Amino acid sequence: MTHKVTLIPGDGIGPEVIQATVRILEATGVKFEWESFAAGAEAFEKYKEYIPKELNDSIERTRVGLKGPVTTPIGGGFSSINVELRKRFELFANFRPIRNLPHIPTRYPGVDLIVVRENTEGLYSGIEHEVVPGVVESLKIITEKASTRVSRFAFEYARKNKRKKIHSIHKANIMKLSDGLFLRCSRTVSKEYPEITYGEHIVDNTCMQLVMNPYQYDILLMENLYGDILSDLCAGLVGGLGLVPGANFGHECAIFEAVHGSAPDIAGKNIANPTAVLRSALLMLRHLGETDAALKIRSAIDEVYRDRSKLTRDVGGTAGTSEFADAIIQAMETQSTAVAASDQP
């Protein structure tokens, strides 16, 4: 069977890490038909649209996307196309598993937690205006519908994958109405899952708890902005942004992308780490039912990290993006056994 997948290479380090990942995916023997499109500033130059109609139609058709990061201008310019894609296709649950890789020295070995971030509203609704010169207002939208569906996603995932605990992360002591509603929704949903321990932590305390003792958490459930910030903090616990994958799930379709951005500071130098996008592609392979290929790549990643001679600079190596990809492909070719099944990329 051939899988049709919409490919968004993105910009900055996007094309480099996506190209490395596509090469590895194709080396598994799984057949893909890629429908590749520009997005953001690059697309605007060509089509006068930040999300070209062809890209939109392709996602509607394939219902699966693999995406590199896309730059969003700071303090002005066009709105984030990353946020727009999530809203447009109702990709309401952002799923970010945080797990150490072998032989990457970090303060905490054996971290294994998951950030589930509401993906369609909160302060990311982007409703801002200037009330009078010198005063601006930014609206945080929290709805019962979105809070309930992302809570249900987290609890269903926990039940299916035998996860034990969910903490809902909030600031309902200050934002009593908005975060209060989010909390009430996760609390209500939690009652349907008595086998899963449910807890609530305030977001600032959670940051401290995470850097003191990340092992106390299993699944962290939260609204959009807290999820964005805590994901990067959690990435720091396991070796950095070059490693952590993500997936945006909706009822109709899913787009797989790393937590990191376009990293303009290292773009075009063949030094970016493609592991985060590759692990996002593993989540995609599982979504497509290609579990054997996912296990094959996962086992090759473990081997290359154990060996250490072909790692990129962010994790202490000297290899380039393409050399790392070559090493993964070679490890897959020489592999005799696949690793045991796991819910993690």
Angle at 237 between CA 233 and CA 239, to 5 degrees: 110
Contact between 217 and 113 (Cβ < 8 Å): yes
Residue pointed to by tokens 């609390």: 187
Task: Kindly identify the residues of this chain, within the stretch 5-34, that bind ligand NAI according to CB under 6 A.
Answer: 13, 17
- Alpha-carbon distance 133 to 145, whole Å? 35
Mapped onto helix, strand or coil, the DSSP state of residue 50 is coil
Task: Kindly identify the residues of this chain, within the stretch 246-275, that bind ligand NAI according to CB under 6 A.
Answer: 257, 260-266, 272-273
Among 28, 82, 94, 147, binds ligand NAI (CB under 6 A): 82
Among 9, 15, 65, 69, binds ligand NAI (CB under 6 A): 69
Question: Is 276 one of the binding residues for ligand NAI (CB under 6 A)?
Answer: yes
Nearer to ligand NAI, 181 or 250 (CB): 250
Nearer to ligand NAI, 17 or 114 (CB): 17
The distance of closest approach from Cβ of residue 243 to ligand NAI in the complex, given in angstroms and rounded to an integer, is 8
Nearer to ligand NAI, 185 or 300 (CB): 300
What does 273-310 look like in DSSP terms, one character per residue? Answer: --HHHHHHHHHHHHHTT-HHHHHHHHHHHHHHHHH-TT
Nearer to ligand NAI, 276 or 329 (CB): 276
Nearer to ligand NAI, 68 or 214 (CB): 68
Q: Which residue is nearest to ligand NAI (CB)?
A: 261
- Alpha-carbon distance 247 to 281, whole Å? 9
Q: Which one-letter amino acid corresponds to residue 205?
A: N
Size of the residue set binding ligand NAI (CB under 6 A): 21
The sign of the torsion formed by the CA atoms of 186, 188, 194, 200 equals positive
Question: Is 114 one of the binding residues for ligand NAI (CB under 6 A)?
Answer: no
Residue pointed to by tokens 């109709």: 252
- Which range of residues in 57-65, 69-77, 117-125, 303-311 is near ligand NAI by CB under 6 A? 69-77
Lay out the site mask for ligand NAI across 151-180 (x = CB under 6 A, - = otherwise). ------------------------------
Contact between 248 and 94 (Cβ < 8 Å): yes
How does strand 219-222 pair with strand 112-118? Answer: parallel
Question: Is 55 one of the binding residues for ligand NAI (CB under 6 A)?
Answer: no
- Alpha-carbon distance 235 to 229, whole Å? 10
The distance of closest approach from Cβ of residue 81 to ligand NAI in the complex, given in angstroms and rounded to an integer, is 8
Nearer to ligand NAI, 196 or 304 (CB): 304
Nearer to ligand NAI, 44 or 193 (CB): 44
Among 8, 38, 55, 70, binds ligand NAI (CB under 6 A): 70
Contact between 123 and 138 (Cβ < 8 Å): yes
The distance of closest approach from Cβ of residue 42 to ligand NAI in the complex, given in angstroms and rounded to an integer, is 13
Question: Is 71 one of the binding residues for ligand NAI (CB under 6 A)?
Answer: yes
Nearer to ligand NAI, 90 or 232 (CB): 232
Which of these, 332, 320, 333, lies nearest to 17 by C-alpha position? 320
- Alpha-carbon distance 233 to 249, whole Å? 22
The distance of closest approach from Cβ of residue 268 to ligand NAI in the complex, given in angstroms and rounded to an integer, is 12
- Alpha-carbon distance 114 to 99, whole Å? 8
Tokens, residue 274: 């493609």
Contact between 305 and 102 (Cβ < 8 Å): yes
The distance of closest approach from Cβ of residue 221 to ligand NAI in the complex, given in angstroms and rounded to an integer, is 20
For binding to ligand NAI (CB under 6 A), which residues are involved? Answer: 13, 17, 69-72, 82, 241-242, 257, 260-266, 272-273, 276, 314
